[in-house]
Structure 1
Amino acid sequence: MSWFKRSRASNGSAEPSPTKERSDTDPDTCLEVFRNHWQQASVIINRKNHGKDGVTSDEVETVIHNFGQMITLLVREEGVEGMPGPILHFFLEKDILELFCSWCAKSNEYAVKLKHEQLRMFEMLISQSKQLLLIHKSVIRPLLKLLSSCTEGNLQSSETYDIEHQLVLVLHQACVCISQQLLILESFFCTNTDHGPTRFLIFSLLIPYVHREGPVGQHARDALLLIMTLSAKHPHIGQYIATNSDFCPVLAAGLSGLYSSLPRKIPNPSDHWYILTNEDCNKIPELQMFLNSLEFCNAVVQIAHSMVKEQLTKYIYDGFLLPVLGPALHQDYVNMASTQ
């Protein structure tokens, strides 16, 4: 299983192209198109009575459509000799992302839809942009606000998966970007010890998904391993993970829970069956989830900072091997069979 998925693919979240754009399109023309889309969106975003009367469904769709076209133009733009291109310059100068995200936060009736759209657009910005965006405060501030809002458990069960999936994609892409451009790291890691769990918000948001099945869990584990690699190079990150986060106890407790949910018996495919193959494991979801988490723990121990390795090993030994796996291995087969 590959734990390092550093692909910068858009995961199918790309916005449809505005007009079919040639690679030699005049930058001034692209900027003008960008401005036009912003003008249409800003009429609604800047409306003074927004808080009183709210917005209509058509207005929400208008803003989403125009902002999506703007994002598509922005991610296609290349910088000019290391400096922001004209679209990015205008985007930062007008603080457009902050205005858009603030407007979304006020639109309570469409909060879930707009949160999903914001996450989708951030994922596109981070993964597809030809310019480095996560060094600009005008991008980082609204992103951190949006991520913080995702810690609020106010979603219905039917809405949870789509938001969680899009959230983890954004977190994963942010970790990829940080691992490739280390200067971004300090923008997301607060050195103030008073910030508690939000001191490293990206990391804290990933922990609840570490034992999750499916693409959400896979992307979360990939992202966390990128952070583990960073921790080996930056001792303050390793120290934070080991002493100021619940990462290690969550991993150990998850192993115990997943082991307890394993089936008591494994059906024999044939009379000559004698070995558990990968194909057999794939047919038993509970076993596959346990093995995924076990493999992830092994990968963490191999690549993380020494403090993280020691803490994780201790928690697994004291919280899983001794109280859970040990008694199971020493359980008398006859007694076990009689209880089934």
Structure 2
Amino acid sequence: MDFWTRLFGVTYTPRKPPAKPVVTSQDRLTRFQTALADVERLCSNKRDLAREKSTLAELQKLIEKLAQIIREETRASIPHPCVAWALKKAIFVTVNRAAAVSFHEGCIHAAITLMAALVDSEEDSFLTNTSFAKSLMRLVTRIINAGDVLLSIETETFILELLFTISAKIRLQPEILPSWFTVTARAEPREKGTTTKDDFPLCYILVDRIYHDGRIGDFARTGLLYIFEATGKSTALETWIVESSDVCTLMASGLGALYSQLSRELSILYPDAVLPATLALSDYTTTQPQARAESAFSERHIAHMTTFLSYLAFWQDILDHCKSDEVRQSLLDHFQVLFLQQLLYPSILESSDTDKGSSVAVLSYLTAILESLEHPVLTDSIMSFLLAVEEPSLPQSQEDIDSSVELKRRQSLLELSVASGLDEAVEPVLFNLSRGRVTMHSPR
């Protein structure tokens, strides 16, 4: 290049790329209003089955365009007129209704993308808007719980990620909880067995998915941890969980269901390929396992055991994060009634030394449970019940005795015990030969 410059005496100046036009907030608002008008036009048109596929594809692109504009404006400097316009026109009502009735996964994914963009906007907080909360929960409940649409794992994960984000914001900003959780006033007393899912649908959606694998289960479990953590800052939420909801019942029943998946008879005979060196060099002889007994080294048993122990670890996390003593005690009560008294202890009683397999299974499960426990209260609850150790009665003030939450918790526990038929059940105290708290005394 220097040679040609000296030869012709011409200075070469490279062309600068054309500058991108500056996008102002008014330009974004115009684009946003145009896209929103097109969405409203498509939603108001009469449904035509012949053109429905193309119409839904166009609707998906328009909703994605709205979400993209909101994202662009959130990253830009103030003012943010598109966010204010979206709140003023309540576009979430139109978009969510269209996505719900479309039964089109693309439109549903685009609508959730737009809702996530609105949640992340900080100026006009949609999280404190009751209409926004009801519209979003109505959409999520319909497409997830109704089963009318077969969603892909990616879309369902995206939905749970949004619910997790909302739960995290509720944890950090307790003032937004009333928009997502409202106790419905009822003229007549609630019948036994009825639940109040409509009061807090976000919580129940998370509870229903805490058993899932992958990111769906991770988002659901972490989001539920944040909900329980918020009980320490909301008396209404604390009272609702203890008195009106069946969240504690579902938690304990889920643990019992995972325990019931474990094999009733278990064989701990090592396969020849994985025989430990200590046994291989000894006079150990391999025997034939019983036909009904499942091997402790089978992939099926290991998978079920891993799932059960991971959910037990989640229980410990719940007790650690729960900031309400009443809710924590209600969880422990349901754990004792629905898991210890109905499943774990009866399985110990039904195990027999004659068939060998059942006793091996129960002792293996009990050992794994005790080895995995790190929460002292949960450990004390199991050992106190199995050993029939009476807990020392602590003096309570009259205010604690007269507390409506405490009285309701005791009443719910009594009803749960009666419904489970525990009055006629055999308890560990029947086999306790000691009249005191211990059976042996060591000399000093």
**TM-score, normalization: structure 2?**
0.60
292-301 or 142-151: bigger deviation: 142-151
Partner of 2:44: 46
Please report how far the alpha carbon of residue 225 of structure 1 lies from its aligned counterpart in structure 2 after TM superposition.
Answer: 0.5
Instruction: Determine the structure 2 residue equivalent to 1:103.
Output: 98
1:114-263 to structure 2, matched below 5 A, reads 114-126=107-119, 128-131=120-123, 132-137=125-130, 139-150=132-143, 152-155=145-148, 158-159=150-151, 161=153, 164-194=156-186, 196-263=196-263
C-alpha deviation, 1:335, in angstroms: 2.4
Deviation by residue 1:1-25 (Cα, 9 ceiling, x = unmatched): xxxxxxxxxxxxxxxxxxxxx9x74
Matching residue within 61, 64, 87 for 1:65: 61
CA 160–326 in structure 1, closer or farther in 2 if over 3 Å, else same: farther
Instruction: Show the counterpart of 2:303.
Output: 285
CA distance in 1, matches of 2:59, 2:114: 13
| 1:337 maps onto 2:349 in alignment | no
Q: Deviations over 1:255-283 (max 9, x none)?
A: 11111223534667441599xxxxx9999
Instruction: Output the amino acid matched with 1:92.
Output: L
Q: Which of these residues, 312, 317, 331, is aligned with residue 331 of structure 2?
A: 312
Question: In the alignment, residue 42 of structure 1 is paired with which amino acid?
Answer: E
The answer for the alignment partner of 1:271 in structure 2 is: 276
- Partner in structure 2 of residue 56 of structure 1: 52
Which amino acid counterpart does residue 334 of structure 2 have in structure 1? Y
- The CA RMSD measured in Å over matched residues stands at 3.5
Q: Which residue number in structure 2 is paired with residue 27 of structure 1?
A: 25
Residue 71 of structure 1, CA deviation: 0.9
Structure of higher RCO (CA pairs closer than 8 Å, 6+ residues apart): 1
* Shift of residue 292, structure 1, vs aligned partner: 1.7
Q: 1-side partners of 2:135 and 2:341: how far apart?
A: 45
Q: Aligned to 2:196, what secondary structure does the other structure show?
A: helix
Runs of 5+ consecutive residues of structure 2 not aligned to the other structure? 1-19, 187-194, 280-297, 362-444
Cα gap change, 1:151/1:63 in structure 2, threshold over 3 Å: closer, same or farther? closer
Say whether the 8 Å CA contact 2:59–2:107 is kept in structure 1.
no
For residues 252 and 157 of structure 2, the distance between their equivalents in structure 1, rounded to whole angstroms, comes to 24
Query: What is residue 5 of structure 1 aligned with on the other side?
Result: none
- In structure 1, what is the Cα distance between the partners aligned to 2:155 and 2:178? 26
Return the alpha-carbon distance in structure 1 between the equivalents of residues 40 and 196 of structure 2: 36
- More deviation, 262-271/169-178: 262-271
**What is the rounded CA distance, in whole Å, between the counterparts of 1:164 and 1:86 in structure 2?**
31
Secondary structure at 2:127 match in 1: coil
Paired with 2:156 and 2:56, the residues of 1 have a C-alpha distance of 22
Separation of aligned partners in 1, 2:156 and 2:26:
38
> What is the distance in 2 between the residues matched to 1:255 and 1:338?
20
Q: Work out the CA distance in 2 between the residues paired with 1:257 and 1:106.
A: 35
TM value normalised by structure 1? 0.76
- Work out the percentage of aligned pairs sharing the same amino acid: 19
Q: Decide which moves more: 91-100 or 326-335.
A: 326-335
Q: How does 1:75-90 map to 2 (within 5 A)?
A: 75-78=71-74, 85-90=80-85
Q: Does residue 322 in structure 1 map to residue 376 in structure 2?
A: no
Letter of the aligned partner of 1:231 in structure 2? Answer: T
Q: Identify if the C-alpha distance between structure 1 residues 44 and 323 changes in structure 2 by more than 3 Å, giving closer, same or farther.
A: closer
Matched pairs, number:
307
What is the CA–CA distance in structure 2 between the aligned matches of 1:87 and 1:71, rounded to whole Å?
11
Q: Is the 8 A contact 2:60 2:106 kept in 1?
A: no
The residue type equivalent to 1:248 in the other structure is C
Q: Aligned in 2, Cα 1:338/1:288: closer, same or farther, shift over 3 Å?
A: closer
Q: How far apart are 1:288 and its partner, in Å?
A: 1.9
Change (3 A) 1:242 1:90: same
Contact 2:67 2:114 in 1 (8 A): yes
Alpha-carbon distance between aligned partners in 1 of 2:332 and 2:321, rounded to the nearest angstrom: 13
Contact residue 231 and residue 237 of structure 2 kept, 8 A? yes
